[in-house]
Structure formats: C-alpha cells, structure tokens
C-alpha cells in the first residue's frame, strides 16, 4: 500500500527543478503531496513523516529564493522521527566552488533537528572543487542533477535514485 504521508517540497526559480520534480514523480509513481515551498507553513511539516526536498543552488552557494525566505522557519522545525531525502540542482562548471551547496545547507538542519537523511548519492561523474552538498569524501547528501551541463544523464540518474529510495517511501 502506498504511504500517503509523503510530501515532495521544492522551490524553483527558472523552472528546471520543477521539470525534474515531474520526472521524479513520474518515476516514483506513488501517492504524494507536491508542494511549492513558497506556499508552505512550518506546521504543515507535522503531516508528513517522509519528505522529499528539491532545491537548486543560486548566487554562489545560496538557497533558491523561496527556500531562502523559508529558511528561518525551516531551522525551527523538529525533524524527530522524520525521514528526509534531497535532490539538488546545480551547475558544476559555472559554480565549481559552490556546487549544489543548497542540499548541504538544508540537510544539515534536518540532521541537527533530529531527522534522518536518506538517499545519499555518489559524487563520481561530477567535476567541481567544493560543495557543501557533500556529506563525506564520496557521497552527496542527495541526488545531484546538473541540467546545465549533463542533461543527457538526468534520466538515468533519476531512475537509479528512485530505485534506491522507493522502498523507504512505500509500506511494503
């Protein structure tokens, strides 16, 4: 049976993350609430124990503008008992010193506030200098998509990641 307590929450300035949301939800094919972060209130998080977060990085290591606006509230959320996974959009050649920083900025808050982060993703196949999105030498906190430079890899990355996270999101 599908778990209906799952939300996918995202922000998107120029629509690329929104496009990736539609690819991920199609591949996931489970019941979930899709919410743009500018419409959400902190208490809305109470309704979900599993959350997928989509965030592009902007302006040299900043969160996308709606996530930036929500960030003070995000930091106050108690993530105890919640399982959260991330996907991040970035441009590895344009911003090699801040590649997908956004997923790291948000993932650290989830961990500090008692949540579990799942859906880690290998950093092989990307070229960059630094990223707050890295949780260790080998793994990003979540799926990394670079539509600016590696569009041709997006579909297969999504397929692989969805396979990896799907069991956590459904009641078996």
Ligand X SMILES: Cc1cc2nc3c(=O)[nH]c(=O)nc-3n(C[C@H](O)[C@H](O)[C@H](O)COP(=O)(O)O)c2cc1C
Q: How far is the CB of 114 from ligand X (least distance, A)?
A: 28
CA dihedral sign, ordered 61, 66, 72, 76:
negative
110-169 residues near ligand X, rule: CB under 6 A: 147-148
CB under 8 Å to 120, separation ≥6 — which residues?
Answer: 135, 139, 140, 141, 142
Dist. CA 112–CA 109, nearest whole Å: 5
* Nearer to ligand X among residue 76 and residue 124 (C-beta): 124
* Nearer to ligand X among residue 60 and residue 171 (C-beta): 60
Out of 8, 16, 24, 28, the only residue in the binding site for ligand X (CB under 6 A) is: 16
Is residue 58 a contact residue for ligand X (CB under 6 A)?
Answer: yes
| Pick from 121, 18, 19, 11: nearest CA to 58 | 11
Out of 43, 60, 137, 152, the only residue in the binding site for ligand X (CB under 6 A) is: 60
Q: How far is the CB of 93 from ligand X (least distance, A)?
A: 10
Check: CB of residue 46 under 8 Å from CB of residue 82: no
Residue 94 vs residues 59, 117, 156: alpha-carbon distances, Å: 11, 27, 23
Out of 37, 48, 52, 57, the only residue in the binding site for ligand X (CB under 6 A) is: 57
Out of 4, 38, 59, 166, the only residue in the binding site for ligand X (CB under 6 A) is: 59
Is residue 89 a contact residue for ligand X (CB under 6 A)?
Answer: yes
Is residue 13 a contact residue for ligand X (CB under 6 A)?
Answer: yes
């Amino acid at each position: 049976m599908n778990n209906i307590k799952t939300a996918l929450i995202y922000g998107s300035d120029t629509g690329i993350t929104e496009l990736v949301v539609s690819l991920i939800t199609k591949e996931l094919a489970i019941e979930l609430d899709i919410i743009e972060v500018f419409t959400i209130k902190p208490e809305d998080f109470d309704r979900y124990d599993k959350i997928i977060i989509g965030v592009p990085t902007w302006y040299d290591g900043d969160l996308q503008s709606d996530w930036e606006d929500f960030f003070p509230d995000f930091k106050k959320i108690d993530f105890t008992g919640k399982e959260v996974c991330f996907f991040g959009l970035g441009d590895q050649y344009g911003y090699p010193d801040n590649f997908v920083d956004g997923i790291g900025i948000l993932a650290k808050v989830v961990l500090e506030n008692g949540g579990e982060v799942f859906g880690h993703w290998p950093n092989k196949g990307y070229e960059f200098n630094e990223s707050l999105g890295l949780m260790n030498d080998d793994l990003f906190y979540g799926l990394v998509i670079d539509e600016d430079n590696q569009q041709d890899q997006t579909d297969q990355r999504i397929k692989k990641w969805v396979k990896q996270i799907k069991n956590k999101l459904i009641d078996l």
